[in-house]
Amino acid sequence: MKDISDSPPLILQSDMTVMLEVAHPRFEYLRSTLALFADLEKSPEHIHTYRITPLSIWNAASAGVQLDGICQFLIENSKYAIPQNLEFQIRELYSRFGRLVLKPDAEDPGSIILESDDPLILQEALSSMKIAPLIIRRKDEFSAYINPAYRGFLKKEFIDIGYPVRDEAGYRSGTGLAFGLRSCAASGKDFVLRDYQIEAVDRFFEEGRNTGGCGVIVLPCGSGKTIVGMALMHRYQCETLILTTNIIALRQWKAELLDKSDIPESQIGEYSGDAKEVRPITLATYNILTWRRDRGSEFEHFSLFMQNDWGMIIYDEVHLLPAPVFRVTAELQSRRRLGLTATLIREDGLEKDVFSLIGPKKYDIPWKDLERYGWIARAICHEIRVEMPRTLRLEYIASNEREKFRLASENPVKMDVIASLLKKHENDDVLVIGQYLNQLDEVVSNFNLPLISGSTPVRKREELYGDFRRGKIPVLVVSKVANFAIDLPDASVAIQISGTFGSRQEEAQRLGRILRPKAGGNAAIFYTIITRSSKEQQFAANRQLFLTEQGYSYSIENWQD
């Protein structure tokens, strides 16, 4: 019998899919390499399927992954001859990155030109009904002057027709703000940037060149994305607008800035439903920015983007950026823009808009690499499958697709599993996370536990989070409001009882609630309870894709067994 290690593990197909054998001895290396330029689509037991897309290739190109390295990797590891059109497509897509460049005009530094090495590409642009109005006039055969106000719109239109623009036009310096980072935090702990945080900062900064200054840094939850943002603020020494998902996250940013920098509190402003302070460092929520009196009225707080001469805008959890903020971001291309996220996946499919309007992916590191060095906790994932009671199954059969998912998610048998897991982890700090409020209310009632949901006042949320951190509350029940940017360093167990359909980024964020390093064994346990042979089980497979791509696997256990 032929040893599997002698057999190439990849099957390449002309539709841009790549299949990888899970049992291959070099699976981990192959998986992590594929993730540099392809997206995981399916992950059953034996074969994982990846798809190479224009955006996956352009992100690889922008991150410095070499074209010949991609092709050589595929050729060397393919079980069969590489389809001719696959290599051609990869080379064609890769070559499109940077064929169009925005740069300041050498003769008139106040003007911006769009330059191409191919006059036909430029001619194609000028003949487009959407792009032509954004061009002022031709400069020569290879370049044209653009209207600087439409810099973002131009990039968005070009990526839609398959030509991502490399932006080297530069950025406003913004109003300066001199400050330092502490070597010993105000809390008394030593503070020093980790190696990967320094590398992320350097990749974004690019030694101050115009090619730096915009883009997305992808780091797992608990690995210090906020620290990277602060370090870049320190590099640029400028007034900064920081956008966050909610007021709790906003105040955590403020606490980190006060703890690890010498910026006085008087220079940090909160712009939210509770306060409207515009200061050299201003923290705002997406909710306040997208607030308007009614559907037909203007977004009243968009003026915040122009109230100061910001040197940088930070978009925290950029994968959640609301569509209206994309619109105003298109007009802010002269400002440096930093996106921070644990996963670039957007369930609305707007990854291209992040690429063109915030910037390409500048830095990414596999979660397992950080786990290996102890920077995040070692995660053990379990999927526990429960049966559906007969009476519920009859109702389930007669329901529509959406209602089937809800019925499976709220399966009452899950309460028995929760009871068992809470007893098993009675000495651990546990989060019970769910989607449906009726289900969460039942958990609260059955087990006499505190709950944080969308209707919990901010002050009460902060109190409960604080009590959980201090160990006064060993178990906390949370709705989807706790998916993002919540600092709960001692949480070591998460029990997910329901979720948002097939949301991959939600699964990643929920695991992220327990990934901060732990004392002792530095291990975290993630349970997800699923109704067997149901819509919920189907969606669960999709939810787990991103974590599977990062190298995590779920042990599947039947509760009845």
What pLDDT, on a 0 to 100 scale, did the predictor assign at position 71?
95
Residues 6+ apart with CB under 8 A from 254: 268, 270, 283
Coil, helix or strand at residue 309:
coil
Q: For residue 553, is it within any domain?
A: yes
What pLDDT, on a 0 to 100 scale, did the predictor assign at position 534?
93
Residues 6+ apart with CB under 8 A from 41: 17, 49, 50, 51, 545
115 shares a domain with 63? no
288 phi/psi in degrees, rounded to 5: -70, -35
From residue 474, give the alpha-carbon distance in Å to each of 219, 407, 441, 494: 28, 29, 18, 12
125 shares a domain with 24? no
Q: For residue 188, is it within any domain?
A: no
Q: For residue 184, is it within any domain?
A: no
496 shares a domain with 406? yes
Coil, helix or strand at residue 17:
strand
Coil, helix or strand at residue 106:
coil
Q: For residue 394, is it within any domain?
A: yes
Dist CA 38 CA 74 (whole Å): 12
What pLDDT, on a 0 to 100 scale, did the predictor assign at position 58?
94
**The two structure tokens encoding residue 426:** 């009675």
pLDDT at 349 over 80: no
pLDDT at 387 over 90: yes
428 shares a domain with 469? yes
pLDDT at 200 over 90: yes
* 144 secondary structure, DSSP code: E
Overall domain count for the chain: 4
282-319 residue pLDDT tens: 999 998 998 888 877 788 888 899 899 999 999 999 98
461 shares a domain with 379? yes
Closest alpha carbon to 316 in 337, 330, 288: 337
CATH number for position 272: 3.40.50.300
SS3 for 524-535 is EEEEEEEECCCH
pLDDT band at 408 (very low <50, low <70, confident <90, very high): very high
Q: What is the mean pLDDT of the chain?
A: 90
What pLDDT, on a 0 to 100 scale, did the predictor assign at position 11?
93
496 shares a domain with 542? yes
pLDDT at 5 over 60: no
pLDDT at 3 over 60: no
Average pLDDT over every residue of 183-192: 93
Residue at which a domain ends, from 96, 114, 149: 96
Average pLDDT over every residue of 167-178: 94
509 shares a domain with 382? yes
pLDDT band at 485 (very low <50, low <70, confident <90, very high): low
pLDDT band at 548 (very low <50, low <70, confident <90, very high): confident
450 shares a domain with 418? yes
Structural domain for 311, as ranges: 195-365
201 shares a domain with 120? no
Residue at which a domain ends, from 325, 349, 365: 365
CATH number for position 157: 3.30.70
Calculate the dihedral angle through the C-alpha atoms of 437, 443, 445, 446, rounding to the nearest 10 degrees: 160
208 shares a domain with 75? no
pLDDT at 377 over 70: yes
What pLDDT, on a 0 to 100 scale, did the predictor assign at position 489?
67
From residue 531, give the alpha-carbon distance in Å to each of 214, 404, 407, 506: 43, 11, 9, 19
Average pLDDT over every residue of 509-538: 87
Q: For residue 175, is it within any domain?
A: no
224 shares a domain with 76? no
Residue at which a domain ends, from 365, 396, 420: 365
* 276 secondary structure, DSSP code: B
Average pLDDT over every residue of 32-56: 88
What pLDDT, on a 0 to 100 scale, did the predictor assign at position 1?
35
Average pLDDT over every residue of 125-153: 89
102-121 residue pLDDT tens: 999 988 878 999 999 888 88
pLDDT at 532 over 90: yes
What pLDDT, on a 0 to 100 scale, did the predictor assign at position 2?
44
Exposed, middle or buried, 88 (CB in 10 Å: 0-12/13-18/19+)?
A: exposed
pLDDT at 4 over 60: no
Q: For residue 294, is it within any domain?
A: yes
What pLDDT, on a 0 to 100 scale, did the predictor assign at position 151?
92
Q: For residue 190, is it within any domain?
A: no
226-275 residue pLDDT tens: 999 999 999 999 999 999 998 889 999 999 999 999 999 999 999 998 88
pLDDT band at 520 (very low <50, low <70, confident <90, very high): low
Average pLDDT over every residue of 66-71: 96
Q: For residue 129, is it within any domain?
A: yes
341 shares a domain with 216? yes
What pLDDT, on a 0 to 100 scale, did the predictor assign at position 202?
96
